[in-house]
Structure 1
Amino acid sequence: MSCPVLRPTPRYRCAGLTLLELIATLVILGLLVAVAGPSLVETVSNLRADALRMQLNSAFAGARLAAVTRREIVSVCPSDDGRRCTAEWSKGWMTYRDPLRSRQPAIEKDILQYYPGQTGLTLLAPASTGRPRLRFRPDGRSMGVNQSVIICARGRQHSKVIVSNSGRARSVILRDPIPCEP
């Protein structure tokens, strides 16, 4: 049954919301969003940092495997375009054949794989000072000292990926995050 046009009577009940009910519902919804919003942003940021940590761990293990399988030196370096090494891991990285231990891939055919990076503005994964790339020997060991890539989310250290001299990659989620250094 529909509501009479001129005036409702007790016999007929009009279906719908009044303006006051609609405003009260919107106010409650606004308060819920205001309370849950910051928590949601932090959760998404942590999920992006976790994804980057797992991708880096996998990339380092894959580069080690490529070095052993190919029986040659393979390097992994941060790269934002997949052709040149840069200094920021969160913008992407590439794996390339590196028989001459050069700072960049010698030719395009040397590039084995490129991983595009994260687009989150709150994510930062700087390269270690003085050692922006990882090199794996044909026996799978890493050249030099242990390498760490620290992953920062929302200005605080979230986790790190560590590659030991033996070439094994592992990751650690930091329980008491400290501020990231610029």
Structure 2
Amino acid sequence: MKRSSQSAFSLYELLVALAVISIGTSLAIPSLAALQQKSEREALRNHLHASLHHARLQAVLHKTSVELCGSRDGVTCGRDWSQGWRMQLMHTPDQAMQIQQHRSKTPLRWAGFDSRIRFHANGTSPSSNGRFFQCKGNAMAWQLILNRQGRVRLANHLENLEEAHRCPG
């Protein structure tokens, strides 16, 4: 008489494997959420940096003034940059050159002399210098600094520490 050999896991072995998998998952999920938030902040920063460069380039190429302004709906300009921004030629503000909408958990903020950013035909932005920033708790996650010549740069770690008072926490 032949015996068929069958192999299987016992209930005890399955429960141990399930416990190990659940512990590993519970340790990995918070790290994944933090990684996702960091990725969203970096994507927002990169989109904004590209939009600022594009606005300056369009001003120089078209030999006219280009304006960037905060826009909640993509149609009208306002002071709030938290939902997105709008790029338009100064002499035809009803025609948008670019509309960027975003949904970030942490709002984008602008600190400058004017709520709008204007690039002149020579690429300068003398009345619109300031900084964009996004907070991470009560610390500065990143800053993009716009100078009077219209150039944009990423702030270093020390500058982020110095400007942490802008983040209420």
Same fold at TM > 0.5: yes
Q: What amino acid sits opposite 2:11 in the alignment?
A: L
Say if 1:156 and 1:37 are closer, same or farther in 2 by CA, change over 3 A.
farther
Tell me if the contact between 2:84 and 2:101 (Cα under 8 Å) persists in the aligned partners.
Answer: yes
User: How far did 1:95 drift?
Assistant: 0.4
Alignment match, 2:100: 115
Alignment match, 2:117: 134
Unaligned runs of 5+ in 1: 1-10, 100-104
Residues 105-130 of structure 1, C-alpha deviations (whole Å, 9 max, x = no match): 742x2x1111121x332x22112265
Q: Residues of 1 paired with 2:21 and 2:55: CA distance?
A: 49
Q: What amino acid sits opposite 1:181 in the alignment?
A: P
Say if 1:54 and 1:16 are closer, same or farther in 2 by CA, change over 3 A.
same
Tell me if the contact between 2:114 and 2:128 (Cα under 8 Å) persists in the aligned partners.
Answer: no
Alignment match, 1:98: 90
Q: Residues of 2 paired with 1:34 and 1:150: CA distance?
A: 32
Alignment match, 2:59: 67
Which has a greater percent of helix? 2
Alignment match, 1:32: 24
User: How far did 1:80 drift?
Assistant: 2.5
Which has a greater percent of strand? 2
Unaligned runs of 5+ in 2: none
Q: How many residues align?
A: 164
Poorly superposed stretches of 4+, deviation over 4 Å: 175-179
Q: Residues of 1 paired with 2:72 and 2:142: CA distance?
A: 21
Quick check: 137-146 or 60-69, which moved more? Answer: 137-146
Find the structure with the greater CA-based Rg.
1
RMSD of equivalent CA atoms:
2.5
Higher relative contact order, chain-length normalized (CA < 8 Å, sep 6+): 1
Q: Give the TM-score normalised by the residue count of structure 2.
A: 0.83
Q: 1:55 aligns with which of 38, 47, 59?
A: 47
User: Identity of counterpart residues, as a percentage?
Assistant: 25
Alignment match, 1:160: 143
3-state SS of paired residue (1:113) = strand
